[in-house]
A and B are shown apart, each in its own frame.
Chain A
Amino acid sequence: IHPSGKLFVLSDGEGKHTTVELSEPLEEEISGVIEVVGRVTNQATIMCVSYVQFREDKSPFDLEIYNEALKIIHEFPEYFPFG
Protein backbone atom coordinates (compact mmCIF):
# COMPACT_ATOMS: atom_id res chain seq x y z
CA ILE A 1 0.00 0.00 0.00
CA HIS A 2 1.34 3.42 -0.96
CA PRO A 3 2.08 5.76 1.97
CA SER A 4 -0.47 8.31 0.75
CA GLY A 5 -3.14 5.64 1.11
CA LYS A 6 -4.50 6.41 -2.34
CA LEU A 7 -2.85 3.54 -4.14
CA PHE A 8 -2.36 -0.11 -3.52
CA VAL A 9 -0.98 -2.98 -5.49
CA LEU A 10 -2.75 -6.30 -5.84
CA SER A 11 -1.48 -9.55 -7.25
CA ASP A 12 -3.88 -12.01 -8.80
CA GLY A 13 -4.13 -15.79 -9.02
CA GLU A 14 -1.43 -15.88 -11.66
CA GLY A 15 0.98 -13.70 -9.76
CA LYS A 16 0.45 -10.66 -11.97
CA HIS A 17 0.31 -7.27 -10.31
CA THR A 18 -1.98 -4.37 -10.85
CA THR A 19 -2.25 -0.93 -9.29
CA VAL A 20 -5.50 0.23 -7.81
CA GLU A 21 -6.17 3.93 -7.38
CA LEU A 22 -8.68 5.39 -5.00
CA SER A 23 -10.41 8.74 -5.17
CA GLU A 24 -9.95 9.17 -1.45
CA PRO A 25 -7.23 7.72 0.72
CA LEU A 26 -7.91 4.52 2.63
CA GLU A 27 -9.48 5.04 5.98
CA GLU A 28 -8.68 1.61 7.33
CA GLU A 29 -5.98 -0.99 7.16
CA ILE A 30 -6.59 -3.66 4.62
CA SER A 31 -4.80 -6.92 4.05
CA GLY A 32 -5.39 -10.32 2.50
CA VAL A 33 -7.74 -10.93 -0.38
CA ILE A 34 -9.62 -7.88 -1.62
CA GLU A 35 -12.23 -7.71 -4.32
CA VAL A 36 -12.10 -4.41 -6.17
CA VAL A 37 -14.85 -3.09 -8.41
CA GLY A 38 -13.63 -0.37 -10.71
CA ARG A 39 -12.79 0.90 -14.16
CA VAL A 40 -9.63 0.14 -16.11
CA THR A 41 -7.73 3.31 -17.03
CA ASN A 42 -5.52 4.07 -20.04
CA GLN A 43 -2.49 3.49 -17.91
CA ALA A 44 -3.71 -0.03 -17.18
CA THR A 45 -4.51 0.72 -13.58
CA ILE A 46 -7.88 0.34 -11.93
CA MET A 47 -9.87 3.31 -10.70
CA CYS A 48 -11.58 1.84 -7.70
CA VAL A 49 -15.27 2.38 -7.15
CA SER A 50 -15.67 0.03 -4.22
CA TYR A 51 -13.88 -2.80 -2.53
CA VAL A 52 -14.66 -5.66 -0.21
CA GLN A 53 -12.35 -7.67 1.97
CA PHE A 54 -12.89 -11.42 1.78
CA ARG A 55 -13.44 -13.31 4.97
CA GLU A 56 -10.63 -15.69 5.61
CA ASP A 57 -11.23 -16.29 9.29
CA LYS A 58 -12.71 -19.75 8.83
CA SER A 59 -10.85 -20.94 5.75
CA PRO A 60 -8.35 -19.44 3.32
CA PHE A 61 -9.48 -18.37 -0.09
CA ASP A 62 -7.88 -20.23 -2.97
CA LEU A 63 -6.99 -17.49 -5.42
CA GLU A 64 -5.53 -19.75 -8.09
CA ILE A 65 -8.66 -21.84 -8.33
CA TYR A 66 -10.74 -18.69 -8.46
CA ASN A 67 -8.60 -17.55 -11.37
CA GLU A 68 -9.24 -20.81 -13.20
CA ALA A 69 -12.96 -20.51 -12.51
CA LEU A 70 -12.94 -17.03 -14.02
CA LYS A 71 -11.35 -18.33 -17.19
CA ILE A 72 -14.04 -20.98 -17.44
CA ILE A 73 -16.94 -18.62 -17.02
CA HIS A 74 -15.53 -16.35 -19.67
CA GLU A 75 -15.38 -19.31 -22.00
CA PHE A 76 -19.10 -19.90 -21.62
CA PRO A 77 -20.87 -16.59 -21.95
CA GLU A 78 -24.03 -18.44 -22.93
CA TYR A 79 -24.24 -19.88 -19.43
CA PHE A 80 -22.83 -16.94 -17.55
CA PRO A 81 -24.08 -13.72 -19.06
CA PHE A 82 -22.74 -10.42 -17.90
CA GLY A 83 -25.89 -8.29 -18.12
Chain B
Amino acid sequence: GGYTQSPGGFGSPTGTQAEKKQRIRSQNIVPCTVSQLLAAEHVDETFRIGDVEISQVTIVGIVRHAEKAPTNILYKVDDMTAAPMDVRQWVDTDEAGGENVVVPPGTYVKVAGHLRSFQNKKSLVGFKIMPLENMNEFTTHLLDIVNAHMILRKNLTSASRVPQSFSSAGIGDMGGYGGGGSLPVNGLTVHQSQVLNLIKNCHVPEGMSLQELKVQLHNMSMSTIKQAVEFLSSEGHIYSTVDDDHYKSTDAE
Protein backbone atom coordinates (compact mmCIF):
# COMPACT_ATOMS: atom_id res chain seq x y z
CA GLY B 1 0.00 0.00 0.00
CA GLY B 2 0.97 3.65 0.15
CA TYR B 3 2.74 3.13 3.44
CA THR B 4 6.14 2.46 1.94
CA GLN B 5 6.71 6.14 1.27
CA SER B 6 6.97 7.29 4.82
CA PRO B 7 10.31 7.54 6.63
CA GLY B 8 11.39 4.14 7.85
CA GLY B 9 10.93 4.12 11.57
CA PHE B 10 11.97 0.93 13.21
CA GLY B 11 11.06 -1.17 10.24
CA SER B 12 7.96 -2.58 11.83
CA PRO B 13 5.92 -3.82 8.90
CA THR B 14 2.60 -3.40 10.61
CA GLY B 15 0.84 -2.05 7.52
CA THR B 16 -1.25 0.39 9.51
CA GLN B 17 -4.05 1.87 7.48
CA ALA B 18 -2.58 5.36 7.52
CA GLU B 19 -4.84 8.36 7.97
CA LYS B 20 -6.46 8.25 11.41
CA LYS B 21 -3.54 7.25 13.56
CA GLN B 22 -1.05 9.76 12.24
CA ARG B 23 1.07 9.34 15.30
CA ILE B 24 2.08 5.86 14.18
CA ARG B 25 3.69 7.13 11.01
CA SER B 26 6.53 9.16 12.39
CA GLN B 27 8.28 6.57 14.45
CA ASN B 28 11.64 8.12 14.02
CA ILE B 29 13.54 10.17 16.45
CA VAL B 30 15.21 12.80 14.34
CA PRO B 31 18.21 14.89 15.32
CA CYS B 32 17.50 18.58 14.63
CA THR B 33 18.69 22.09 15.15
CA VAL B 34 16.55 24.48 17.15
CA SER B 35 16.20 26.62 14.03
CA GLN B 36 14.68 23.64 12.21
CA LEU B 37 12.24 23.03 15.04
CA LEU B 38 11.17 26.66 15.08
CA ALA B 39 10.70 26.61 11.33
CA ALA B 40 8.67 23.41 11.35
CA GLU B 41 5.08 23.78 10.22
CA HIS B 42 2.35 22.53 12.44
CA VAL B 43 -0.17 20.66 10.32
CA ASP B 44 -3.11 19.12 12.17
CA GLU B 45 -1.48 16.89 14.72
CA THR B 46 1.95 16.67 13.18
CA PHE B 47 4.99 18.77 12.46
CA ARG B 48 6.87 18.97 9.23
CA ILE B 49 10.32 20.21 8.37
CA GLY B 50 10.37 20.57 4.62
CA ASP B 51 8.46 17.41 3.78
CA VAL B 52 9.80 15.34 6.61
CA GLU B 53 7.37 14.52 9.37
CA ILE B 54 8.77 14.79 12.84
CA SER B 55 7.58 14.16 16.32
CA GLN B 56 10.37 12.89 18.50
CA VAL B 57 13.63 14.77 18.15
CA THR B 58 17.04 15.16 19.67
CA ILE B 59 18.88 18.42 20.08
CA VAL B 60 22.26 19.21 21.56
CA GLY B 61 22.97 22.55 23.17
CA ILE B 62 24.00 24.48 26.24
CA VAL B 63 21.69 24.99 29.18
CA ARG B 64 21.33 28.74 29.52
CA HIS B 65 18.73 28.71 32.24
CA ALA B 66 17.15 26.21 34.59
CA GLU B 67 14.04 26.78 36.65
CA LYS B 68 12.76 24.24 39.08
CA ALA B 69 9.04 24.01 39.81
CA PRO B 70 7.23 21.40 41.95
CA THR B 71 6.15 19.26 39.01
CA ASN B 72 8.66 20.08 36.32
CA ILE B 73 11.98 21.64 35.47
CA LEU B 74 12.08 24.23 32.70
CA TYR B 75 15.36 24.55 30.85
CA LYS B 76 16.33 26.89 28.10
CA VAL B 77 18.67 25.07 25.75
CA ASP B 78 20.77 26.99 23.24
CA ASP B 79 22.38 25.35 20.20
CA MET B 80 23.35 28.65 18.64
CA THR B 81 21.23 28.17 15.52
CA ALA B 82 18.39 30.19 17.01
CA ALA B 83 17.23 31.55 20.34
CA PRO B 84 17.31 29.09 23.25
CA MET B 85 14.43 26.62 23.21
CA ASP B 86 12.20 25.82 26.15
CA VAL B 87 12.57 22.24 27.29
CA ARG B 88 10.24 21.00 29.96
CA GLN B 89 11.11 17.95 31.96
CA TRP B 90 8.33 16.49 34.07
CA VAL B 91 9.27 15.35 37.52
CA ASP B 92 7.86 12.25 39.11
CA THR B 93 6.35 13.55 42.30
CA ASP B 94 5.83 10.01 43.55
CA GLU B 95 9.49 9.16 43.65
CA ALA B 96 11.77 10.42 46.35
CA GLY B 97 13.32 13.73 45.25
CA GLY B 98 16.85 12.63 44.42
CA GLU B 99 15.99 11.24 40.97
CA ASN B 100 15.87 14.54 39.21
CA VAL B 101 18.96 16.60 39.69
CA VAL B 102 18.81 19.92 37.91
CA VAL B 103 21.42 20.33 35.20
CA PRO B 104 23.38 23.53 35.87
CA PRO B 105 23.51 26.34 33.29
CA GLY B 106 26.63 26.31 31.15
CA THR B 107 26.47 22.56 30.64
CA TYR B 108 26.19 20.96 27.21
CA VAL B 109 23.31 18.51 27.08
CA LYS B 110 21.62 16.16 24.67
CA VAL B 111 17.85 16.34 24.88
CA ALA B 112 15.51 13.70 23.49
CA GLY B 113 11.89 14.79 23.49
CA HIS B 114 8.61 15.53 21.78
CA LEU B 115 8.06 18.68 19.81
CA ARG B 116 5.08 20.68 21.02
CA SER B 117 3.48 23.88 19.92
CA PHE B 118 1.30 25.99 22.17
CA GLN B 119 -0.15 29.30 21.02
CA ASN B 120 2.36 29.32 18.23
CA LYS B 121 5.26 28.91 20.56
CA LYS B 122 7.35 25.82 20.14
CA SER B 123 8.83 23.87 22.98
CA LEU B 124 10.04 20.40 23.78
CA VAL B 125 8.84 17.97 26.35
CA GLY B 126 12.05 16.21 27.22
CA PHE B 127 11.95 12.61 28.27
CA LYS B 128 15.70 12.37 28.50
CA ILE B 129 18.13 15.13 29.27
CA MET B 130 21.74 14.01 29.48
CA PRO B 131 24.81 16.12 30.09
CA LEU B 132 27.39 15.37 27.42
CA GLU B 133 30.33 13.55 28.84
CA ASN B 134 32.15 13.26 25.56
CA MET B 135 32.13 16.48 23.56
CA ASN B 136 32.73 14.53 20.38
CA GLU B 137 29.04 13.63 20.65
CA PHE B 138 28.43 17.24 19.78
CA THR B 139 30.34 16.86 16.53
CA THR B 140 28.48 13.61 15.77
CA HIS B 141 25.15 15.29 16.40
CA LEU B 142 25.93 18.01 13.84
CA LEU B 143 26.69 15.42 11.21
CA ASP B 144 23.73 13.28 12.26
CA ILE B 145 21.41 16.19 11.59
CA VAL B 146 22.63 16.73 8.06
CA ASN B 147 22.67 13.01 7.37
CA ALA B 148 19.26 12.20 8.83
CA HIS B 149 17.47 15.04 7.09
CA MET B 150 19.17 14.29 3.83
CA ILE B 151 18.21 10.62 3.93
CA LEU B 152 14.69 11.25 5.10
CA ARG B 153 14.09 13.76 2.38
CA LYS B 154 15.59 11.50 -0.25
CA ASN B 155 13.39 8.63 0.90
CA LEU B 156 10.36 10.75 0.28
CA THR B 157 11.29 12.00 -3.15
CA SER B 158 12.57 8.78 -4.69
CA ALA B 159 9.70 6.35 -5.12
CA SER B 160 11.55 3.22 -6.15
CA ARG B 161 15.20 3.24 -5.46
CA VAL B 162 17.12 1.33 -8.07
CA PRO B 163 20.65 2.08 -7.02
CA GLN B 164 22.73 2.61 -10.13
CA SER B 165 25.72 2.41 -7.87
CA PHE B 166 25.65 -1.35 -8.15
CA SER B 167 28.16 -1.45 -10.94
CA SER B 168 29.89 1.84 -10.40
CA ALA B 169 33.35 1.71 -8.98
CA GLY B 170 33.11 2.12 -5.23
CA ILE B 171 31.84 5.58 -4.54
CA GLY B 172 32.51 6.32 -0.92
CA ASP B 173 33.73 2.79 -0.68
CA MET B 174 35.71 3.27 2.50
CA GLY B 175 33.34 0.93 4.30
CA GLY B 176 32.15 4.11 5.88
CA TYR B 177 28.79 5.12 7.10
CA GLY B 178 29.23 7.88 9.61
CA GLY B 179 32.92 7.87 8.91
CA GLY B 180 34.79 10.67 7.20
CA GLY B 181 34.92 11.58 3.57
CA SER B 182 32.50 11.48 0.69
CA LEU B 183 28.77 11.17 1.11
CA PRO B 184 27.39 7.94 -0.38
CA VAL B 185 24.94 7.81 -3.29
CA ASN B 186 21.26 7.35 -2.45
CA GLY B 187 22.19 7.56 1.19
CA LEU B 188 23.72 4.09 1.01
CA THR B 189 27.24 2.95 0.32
CA VAL B 190 27.94 0.49 -2.46
CA HIS B 191 28.07 -2.43 -0.02
CA GLN B 192 24.80 -1.48 1.60
CA SER B 193 23.09 -1.03 -1.75
CA GLN B 194 24.24 -4.43 -2.91
CA VAL B 195 23.06 -6.14 0.25
CA LEU B 196 19.75 -4.30 0.13
CA ASN B 197 19.16 -5.24 -3.49
CA LEU B 198 19.73 -8.91 -2.85
CA ILE B 199 17.38 -8.85 0.10
CA LYS B 200 14.76 -6.97 -1.87
CA ASN B 201 14.81 -9.53 -4.63
CA CYS B 202 14.41 -12.44 -2.30
CA HIS B 203 10.84 -13.70 -2.25
CA VAL B 204 11.25 -16.53 0.19
CA PRO B 205 8.89 -16.11 3.18
CA GLU B 206 11.61 -16.28 5.81
CA GLY B 207 13.73 -13.80 3.94
CA MET B 208 17.36 -13.73 2.95
CA SER B 209 19.85 -15.33 5.27
CA LEU B 210 23.28 -13.95 6.06
CA GLN B 211 24.80 -17.17 4.73
CA GLU B 212 23.04 -16.70 1.42
CA LEU B 213 24.26 -13.11 1.24
CA LYS B 214 27.81 -14.27 1.80
CA VAL B 215 27.48 -16.82 -0.99
CA GLN B 216 26.14 -14.24 -3.41
CA LEU B 217 28.59 -11.55 -2.44
CA HIS B 218 31.83 -13.45 -2.43
CA ASN B 219 34.00 -10.37 -2.45
CA MET B 220 32.45 -9.02 0.72
CA SER B 221 33.59 -10.19 4.13
CA MET B 222 31.02 -11.46 6.62
CA SER B 223 31.69 -8.54 8.93
CA THR B 224 31.07 -6.03 6.14
CA ILE B 225 27.82 -7.81 5.32
CA LYS B 226 26.80 -7.78 8.97
CA GLN B 227 27.59 -4.08 9.26
CA ALA B 228 25.54 -3.34 6.17
CA VAL B 229 22.65 -5.41 7.51
CA GLU B 230 22.77 -3.64 10.86
CA PHE B 231 22.75 -0.26 9.21
CA LEU B 232 19.92 -1.12 6.81
CA SER B 233 17.95 -2.58 9.67
CA SER B 234 18.33 0.46 11.88
CA GLU B 235 17.36 2.72 8.99
CA GLY B 236 14.24 0.68 8.44
CA HIS B 237 15.05 -0.72 5.01
CA ILE B 238 15.00 -4.32 6.20
CA TYR B 239 13.69 -6.25 9.15
CA SER B 240 14.62 -9.55 10.74
CA THR B 241 12.21 -12.44 10.35
CA VAL B 242 12.69 -15.88 11.89
CA ASP B 243 15.89 -14.86 13.65
CA ASP B 244 18.69 -12.32 13.47
CA ASP B 245 20.21 -14.09 10.51
CA HIS B 246 17.26 -13.68 8.18
CA TYR B 247 16.03 -10.42 6.72
CA LYS B 248 13.38 -9.15 4.39
CA SER B 249 13.10 -5.76 2.78
CA THR B 250 10.42 -3.33 3.91
CA ASP B 251 10.12 -2.21 0.30
CA ALA B 252 9.59 -5.67 -1.12
CA GLU B 253 6.72 -6.21 -3.53
* Residues on B with beta carbons closer than 8 Å to the beta carbon of A59: 133-136
Q: Is B114's CB within 8 Å of the partner chain A?
A: no
Is B150 within 8 A of A65, CB to CB?
A: no
Is B80 within 8 A of A37, CB to CB?
A: yes
- The range of chain A's interface size is 20 to 34
Is A79 within 8 A of B146, CB to CB?
A: yes
Is B146 within 8 A of A73, CB to CB?
A: yes
Known: A69-B139, A69-B142. A83 touches B34 (CB 8 A): yes
Partner of A72, one of B35, B138, B143: B143
Partner of B132, one of A55, A65, A78: A55
Is A79 within 8 A of B142, CB to CB?
A: no
**With A and B bound together, what is the CA distance between A80 and B146 in angstroms?**
6
| 16 A–B pairs (Cβ distance < 8 Å), ordered by A | A52-B108, A55-B108, A55-B132, A55-B135, A59-B135, A69-B139, A69-B142, A73-B146, A80-B142, A80-B145, A81-B33, A81-B35, A81-B81, A82-B35, A83-B34, A83-B82
Instruction: Report B's interface with A, CB cutoff 8 A.
Output: 33-36, 38-39, 50, 62, 80-83, 106, 108, 132-136, 138-139, 142-143, 145-146, 149-150, 153, 180
Instruction: Report A's interface with B, CB cutoff 8 A.
Output: 33, 37, 52, 54-56, 58-59, 61-62, 65-66, 68-70, 72-73, 76, 78-83
